[in-house]
Structure 1
Amino acid sequence: MESNLARIFKNASVTYYNSSLFFPGQVREDVTKLYAFVRVFDDLVDSVPQRVKEFYELREKYYMELEGKPSGNLVISNFVDLMRRKNFKEEWVEAFLDAMESDLRKKVYYTIDETIKYMYGSAEVVGLMMMRVLNLPEESSYYARMLGRAMQYLNFIRDVREDLEMERQYLPVKEMEEFSVNSLLECSDNFREFMRFQIRRYFGFQEEAEKGYSYIPLRYLIAIKTAADMYKWTARRILKDPCIVNRIKVKPKKRRIIAYGVYNLVGGSVWRFISFYRI
């Protein structure tokens, strides 16, 4: 029977959830606990209207669990247990919660530096937590942050219409002005060039993150690479037709994710076999 945590994770992200199926069982359970925690806070600030009171109440329950007091919330208690087992830094969690809280008041980002600062709390620290879940060496921390940043930035590109409906904009306003784009809902040549510029930035983040793949054991890399491949697939679709973001939410279907995962599983295994027996 599917657990409540798995249901939260599954409903949150088709890509992450189906890619996580390629993790070993215990790792998949831990990843589910992490993403259930991330998602419940994200959902509270992304709801319309925003559930401000519930956000602060849930944050208090997190602090209760840290102090050893039962919160009565399964998502929080499971996360804090994971946090202790895997030695997450409290400052990482605090940075994440602060980023989510900022969504209650800050709506527009004017420079790329502002956006990157937000992404540290909203995504990069989640990459650092994943690093600990997978027991990766500390040398991989920079690349773990970059992978979180890359995926988050593509979300900003892909979800531009959805964010505007919530009166939010994470893509830098000043760069819109540089490209003479008046609205992210327009479909002009300037808009296309602006969006392609953003996609190229995403690919830059992603390429940097992939330099850290060498730190990841194959049994974990399959799942991570599958998720990353789906983000690159999404990016290529938007690069080809930037105006698509104002028509639909570009997302791979489950069968595509599983197919890529199987390809990575077989391809990765064959590559290791050839490398091992190479003369």
Structure 2
Amino acid sequence: MRSATSLDPLLSEGYRRCAELTREYGTTYFWGAILLPKPRRRHVYAVYALCRLADDIVDDPGTLAASSVGEIADRLEQFAAGFRRDLRAGRSDDPVMAAVVDTVRRAEIDPECFDRFFGAMAMDLTTTSYETWDDLCGYMEGSAAVIGEMMLPVLEPTDPAARAPARALGLAFQLTNFLRDIDEDLDRGRVYLPQQDLRRFGADPAARRVTPQWRAFMRFEIERNRELYRVADTGISLLPPRSARCVGAARLLYSQILDRIERADYDVFSSRVRVPTWRKALTAGRIMVSRPPAGRTPKGTATDVTQDAR
């Protein structure tokens, strides 16, 4: 990663706004990044902010109405074109975009990642369901796996083998979101669940009822989700200690959403399952002051606080 220099007022304001966006909408990312040195922490916030702003365009109320899809697509394309233009110029007059460009250049994030990301965002305007798990993974390639690739240079891995686990963690995070947000996504006319799996278990999310069939379906998807987390765990020891703590904290907090879904008897319709912000802050604090015992990887540090964080 390129060394940081003193930030000018525009960049300082941009990174401040990125941190605010992350704290408001991406609290797990916010509290996980607290464990990083400040220069790298703000890069996490900048990457999150770009993704959040694009996602907000796609999830604009009324997006899926036939009369608005073209307009939203134009807004997304203009946003993406503006980002690419600023990236080529190496600067932006907009504080948030200036921070994003600074992050991409300093962290040396591959610009191709953003092509895949914006492609996935555009898919949301025309695709409302996915037939198979492979089909869903095709969407998540650009909406989730690639986020792991964007974040990886910020974390400064010690081994290139960390790429595959980083991608798995991005997929795990998004699948957790999909399972938590089924009710909200239904309201937007979208179903981010493999239709093949729903038929296999006889589960119907549109009914918004917890039935034996629904429980069986959710158990299957949660186990699939936990396998992705297990793959992601193999990369934590390939990160420097503070990065390992950051990823360990975020992984721990996100995976606890699955625990809470189970404790709610797989009811994701009555209310949104959450890990309280105070618990996220407590987990980050405990991991920050902990030291891995001799002979153990940083992954163990995060695991040690699991019970305290629940």
Tell me how far apart the structure 1 counterparts of residues 246 and 122 of structure 2 sit (CA, whole Å). 30
Contact (CA 8 Å) 2:91, 2:101: kept in 1 or not? Answer: no
Structure 1 runs (4+) deviating above 4 angstroms are: 272-275
> Following TM superposition, by how much is the alpha carbon of 1:274 offset from its aligned partner in structure 2, in angstroms?
8.6
Find out whether 1:86 has 2:107 as its counterpart: yes
Contact (CA 8 Å) 2:91, 2:102: kept in 1 or not? Answer: no
Give the residue type in structure 1 aligned to 2:293. W
Give the residue type in structure 1 aligned to 2:42. E
Tell me how far apart the structure 2 counterparts of residues 24 and 272 of structure 1 sit (CA, whole Å). 23
Find out whether 1:209 has 2:232 as its counterpart: yes
> Following TM superposition, by how much is the alpha carbon of 1:69 offset from its aligned partner in structure 2, in angstroms?
7.5
- The 3 A distance-change label for structure 1 pair 53 and 72 is farther
Find out whether 1:182 has 2:195 as its counterpart: no
> Following TM superposition, by how much is the alpha carbon of 1:250 offset from its aligned partner in structure 2, in angstroms?
1.0
- The 3 A distance-change label for structure 1 pair 193 and 3 is same
Which position in structure 1 is the counterpart of 2:96? 75
> Following TM superposition, by how much is the alpha carbon of 1:134 offset from its aligned partner in structure 2, in angstroms?
1.5
* RMSD across aligned positions (CA): 2.0
Contact (CA 8 Å) 2:236, 2:247: kept in 1 or not? Answer: no
Mean Cα deviation higher: 248-257 or 12-21:
12-21
For structure 2, the residue ranges without an aligned partner over 5 or more in a row are 1-12, 64-71, 298-310
Give the residue type in structure 1 aligned to 2:178. F
Find out whether 1:231 has 2:254 as its counterpart: yes
Secondary structure of the 2:193 match is: coil
Mean Cα deviation higher: 190-199 or 70-79:
70-79
Tell me how far apart the structure 1 counterparts of residues 265 and 126 of structure 2 sit (CA, whole Å). 29
Contact (CA 8 Å) 1:71, 1:77: kept in 2 or not? Answer: yes
- The 3 A distance-change label for structure 1 pair 152 and 65 is same
Number of paired residues?
274
Contact (CA 8 Å) 1:15, 1:230: kept in 2 or not? Answer: yes
Which position in structure 2 is the counterpart of 1:16? 29
Which position in structure 2 is the counterpart of 1:121? 142
Tell me how far apart the structure 2 counterparts of residues 69 and 261 of structure 1 sit (CA, whole Å). 34
Which position in structure 2 is the counterpart of 1:112? 133
Matches within 5 A, 1:142-157: 142-157=164-179
Tell me how far apart the structure 2 counterparts of residues 223 and 93 of structure 1 sit (CA, whole Å). 23
Tell me how far apart the structure 2 counterparts of residues 207 and 70 of structure 1 sit (CA, whole Å). 39
Secondary structure of the 1:243 match is: coil
Matches within 5 A, 1:191-202: 191-202=214-225
Give the residue type in structure 2 aligned to 1:151. F
Contact (CA 8 Å) 1:195, 1:242: kept in 2 or not? Answer: no
Scaled by the length of structure 1, what TM-score is found?
Answer: 0.92
> Following TM superposition, by how much is the alpha carbon of 1:264 offset from its aligned partner in structure 2, in angstroms?
2.1
- The 3 A distance-change label for structure 1 pair 63 and 242 is same
CA displacement 1:156-196 (0-9 Å, x = unmatched): 00000011110011110111000011334121010011011
CA displacement 1:170-227 (0-9 Å, x = unmatched): 1101110000113341210100110111100000000011011110112122221111
> Following TM superposition, by how much is the alpha carbon of 1:59 offset from its aligned partner in structure 2, in angstroms?
1.1
Identity among equivalent positions (%) equals 28
- The 3 A distance-change label for structure 1 pair 266 and 78 is closer
Tell me how far apart the structure 2 counterparts of residues 242 and 199 of structure 1 sit (CA, whole Å). 13
> Following TM superposition, by how much is the alpha carbon of 1:261 offset from its aligned partner in structure 2, in angstroms?
1.7
Tell me how far apart the structure 2 counterparts of residues 226 and 45 of structure 1 sit (CA, whole Å). 29
> Following TM superposition, by how much is the alpha carbon of 1:254 offset from its aligned partner in structure 2, in angstroms?
1.5
> Following TM superposition, by how much is the alpha carbon of 1:266 offset from its aligned partner in structure 2, in angstroms?
3.5
- The 3 A distance-change label for structure 1 pair 179 and 61 is same
CA displacement 1:109-166 (0-9 Å, x = unmatched): 1110011111111011111111111221322100100011111111000000011110
Tell me how far apart the structure 1 counterparts of residues 150 and 205 of structure 2 sit (CA, whole Å). 36
Which position in structure 2 is the counterpart of 1:172? 194
The partner residue of 2:286 within 255, 263, 271 is: 263
Give the residue type in structure 2 aligned to 1:105. T
Tell me how far apart the structure 2 counterparts of residues 66 and 183 of structure 1 sit (CA, whole Å). 41
